[in-house]
Amino acid sequence: MSCVTIIFLSAFTEPWRTISWGDKDRDLNYVQDYKPSKGSVKHLRVLLYGPVGAGKSSFINSVSSILRGRMAIPAAVSAYETHTIEREDGDPDGFYPLVLSDIMGLEDGTNKGVCTEDIKLTMMGHVMDKYLFNSTSPLLSGCAGYEKDPSANDICHILVCVISANSAETKPSVLQKMKTVREAARDLGIPQVCILTHIDEACGITESNLKDVYHSKYIKRKVKMSSSVGFPMNCIFPVKNYNEETKLNDDIDTLILDALRYIINFGDDFIKKL
Ligand SMILES: Nc1nc2c(ncn2[C@@H]2O[C@H](COP(=O)(O)OP(=O)(O)OP(=O)(O)O)[C@@H](O)[C@H]2O)c(=O)[nH]1
Ligand SMILES: [Mg+2]
């Protein structure tokens, strides 16, 4: 089978979702100008979780690079870590009112990776910044690192599940942990979206041109699979994170900013209700 035939068989002629390429400044300005709609909330807090190695830290790093207009130094995380993003535009506020909280990944089996109980506590704002997660025992009330009285700035305003489009099937025990987290967020009324990373490695179409992401049958299948575990299709965003690049790229930025715009809108809806 020729290369052209393979691409024809694995691609839709019409995109299954539309996105405006070459218009990244519009989304960038939207994100850069964002202010929480409630004055008492200093920043919108985004909490990322997902299987180990899915690209949580890389996503935070990519967002930081895009907003600052230059590559940021990758963050190594084993603790609960809140990332602020410094403004480069001389704004007296100094930082964007957007913080991204990173946690260690979910792993197969018990006593490995972050405990779902700790993710729930993090969502509720009970985990202090820099707290080092313990895979074998969740944080207990009264212990060091436990915030007794979280404010509206400490709680998570939007939960982002990060999954790789290029990994083998997620293990049932990890899926179960993800479900537990999703249900806890649902009970707390926290909005949720899903980011599908590694699309540059997942299929030939997106490997050769990111702009064809919404023509790819494979990516659509992956999005559908994620929707079958509980995310509405329109809350799942395929992206490519910065990993080996030394310069910013408009197509990478467009996909990430599109996702970020939704993250901000959904998160701000939650802030309005606080
Ligand atoms: N090609 C490609 N590589 C990626 C992408 N996202 C992340 N990576 C790479 O995948 C590896 C894991 O990414 P991390 O960002 O460390 O993943 P993580 O979810 O933070 O992992 P843990 O903190 O260990 O749970 C790193 O080598 C990244 O450079 C992507 O979209 N495309
Ligand atoms: Mg990480």
Which tens digit of pLDDT belongs to each residue from 141-186?
Answer: 999 999 999 999 999 999 999 999 998 888 999 999 999 999 999 9
Strands 98-102 and 44-49, sheet pairing: parallel
Domain, as residue range, for 108:
3-272
Ligand 2 centre to CA of 2 (Å) is: 39
Closest residue by Cα to atom 30, ligand 1, is 198
State the pLDDT confidence band at 223, using cuts at 50, 70 and 90: very high
Ligand 1 centre to CA of 41 (Å) is: 31
Ligand 2 centre to CA of 62 (Å) is: 13
- Closest atom of ligand 1 to 106 CA is 25
Question: What local confidence, expressed as pLDDT, does residue 91 receive?
Answer: 77
Query: Where does residue 17 rank: exposed (0-12), middle (13-18), buried (19+ CB within 10 A)?
Result: middle
**93-114 pLDDT per residue, tens:** 799 999 999 999 999 988 899 9
The answer, yes or no, to whether any atom of ligand 1 lies below 6 A from the CB of 201, is yes
Tally the domains of the chain.
1
**53-80 pLDDT per residue, tens:** 999 999 999 999 999 999 987 666 567 8
- Closest atom of ligand 1 to 48 CA is 19
The DSSP result for the chain, as a single string, is --HHHHHHHHB-SS-SS---TT-HHHHHHHHHH---SSTT---EEEEEE-BTTSSHHHHHHHHHHHHHTSPPPPPP-SB-EEE--B-SS--TT-B-SEEEEE-PPB-SSTTSB--HHHHHHHHTT-BPTT-B--TTS---TTSTTB-SS--TTTS-SEEEEEEETTSSPPPHHHHHHHHHHHHHHHHHT--EEEEEE-HHHH-HHHHH-GGGGGGBHHHHHHHHHHHHTT--GGGEEE----SS-SS--HHHHHHHHHHHHHHHHHHHHHHHT-
The Cα–Cα gap between 241 and 190 comes to: 25
- The gap from C-alpha 226 to its chain's centroid, in whole angstroms, comes to 14
Give which of 261, 193, 223 is closest to 15, Cα–Cα: 223
Residue 29 CB contacts under 8 Å (≥ 6 apart), including other chains: none
Question: What local confidence, expressed as pLDDT, does residue 75 receive?
Answer: 63
CATH number assigned to the domain comprising residue 148 = 3.40.50.300
Strands 98-102 and 81-83, sheet pairing: antiparallel
pLDDT at 4 over 90: no
Q: In the predicted model, what is the mean pLDDT of the chain?
A: 92
pLDDT at 131 over 70: yes
What mean pLDDT is predicted for residues 220-228?
89
Nearest-5° angle of CA 10, CA 50, CA 87?
A: 95
